[in-house]
Amino acid sequence: MTHTAAILGLMAVSFMLTLIWGEPMLRVLRHFRIGKRIRVEGPQRHQIKIGTPTMGGWIIVVPVTLLSLFFYATKIWGLTFLGREMLLPVGLMVGHALLGAVDDWLGVRETPTGMRARTKFGLQVLLAVAAAWWLHDIYEAPPMYLPGIQLPVPLGWVYMPLSVLIIVGTSNAVNLTDGLDSLAGLIAATAFAAYGGIALAQGDAALARFAFLVVGSVLGFLWFNAHPAQLFMGDTGSLALGATLGVIALMTGEWLVLPLIAIIPLAETLSVILQVAYFKLTGGQRIFKMAPLHHHFELSGWSETQVVMRFWLVNLLAALIGVLIALA
């Protein structure tokens, strides 16, 4: 079996398993009334989404985890699909999904803001520190590749804090992107496919298979999240996908192109940072009509589907450029 056939097969299996698992998960969420609360100060058109089931990230995380464990060190037709090195992204995904699920649950049952930001950030950092240690001491990931240079660039002690920053930053960036139907899912699927292609070009077939396993599951989630969404991924999905994307970028050593491959999450994050900083410096003035950035364009007259498709097209083009740079 060729690498391409294995990747396509895994992606198809994860897609189908997500579709099968999605319907009972939806019924469970509806039964326990785990419905999304909508920000009052947000665009008024979003008020119709109140009560839409959230915590749907489990639709992605459960199939990816089960399939990864099933294929862990398993040989089919003489081919090892996934190895020990995949335990890191799987574990990080599950850890962030659990953290996000607690945040989603608190957001539904107690306060719309969910878990305290300081507590959530601290737990994210702890998970990222553990992942950075594994990357450095166990996996021995390449420190960094410069575009067009195949030799890794050693970073010394800087590698650990940089890895933590990338994992935490990407996790929160995808979380901020998750505000419109299908937006975070489309961006995540594109980014994982990009890094899957990079891993395959590097000869790391196991990492490529895992990346496309995630792509298949995210595409299955989009079946339920397509506008008008039946389900939201919530922090359960966005934190998990973001952290996993960050660690896969680190495992390839091609994390300098991550800002291109995830250009929309980067823009969403920068819009929030700039909005908050400008608001405090000017005593109440704003750069954007509302942050994150997708809400600014909504309030400027774009429909939700226009924002999603245009943002995705920009990210798709940037991701392709990022892959070409990484493979140069």
Domain spans of the chain? 3-257
3-state secondary structure of 70: helix
Residue 268 has pLDDT above 70, yes or no: yes
> 158, exposed or middle or buried, with CB in 10 Å at 0-12, 13-18, 19+?
exposed
- The structure tokens 């496309």 sit at 212
315-328 pLDDT, tens digit each = 999 999 999 999 98
Residue 1 has pLDDT above 80, yes or no: no
3-state secondary structure of 227: coil
CA 169-170-172 angle, to 5 degrees, is 65
Kindly report which listed range (82-96, 180-194, 217-231) carries the lowest average pLDDT score: 82-96
3-state secondary structure of 76: strand
Amino acid at 279: F
CA 314-320-321 angle, to 5 degrees, is 90
Write the CA distances from 226 to 120, 231, 252, 292, integer angstroms. Answer: 28, 9, 31, 20
pLDDT number for residue 138: 87
What does the alpha-carbon distance between residue 197 and residue 205 come to, in Å, rounded to a whole number? 10
- Chain centre distance of CA 42: 23
Buried b (16+ CB within 10 A) or exposed e, 225-236: bbeebbbbbbbb
Between residues 41 and 100, the one the model is more confident about = 100
pTM across the whole model: 0.94
Q: What is the largest CA-CA distance in the chain?
A: 66
Between residues 210 and 140, the one the model is more confident about = 210
Residue 184 has pLDDT above 50, yes or no: yes
pLDDT number for residue 48: 74
* CB contact set of 30 (below 8 Å; sequence gap of 6+): 53
Mean pLDDT to the nearest integer, 298-302: 94
pLDDT number for residue 212: 95
DSSP for 28-49, written as a single string:
HHHHTT-B----TTS-GGGGGG
> 159, exposed or middle or buried, with CB in 10 Å at 0-12, 13-18, 19+?
middle
82-140 pLDDT, tens digit each = 677 788 999 999 999 999 999 999 988 777 667 899 999 999 999 999 999 999 888 88
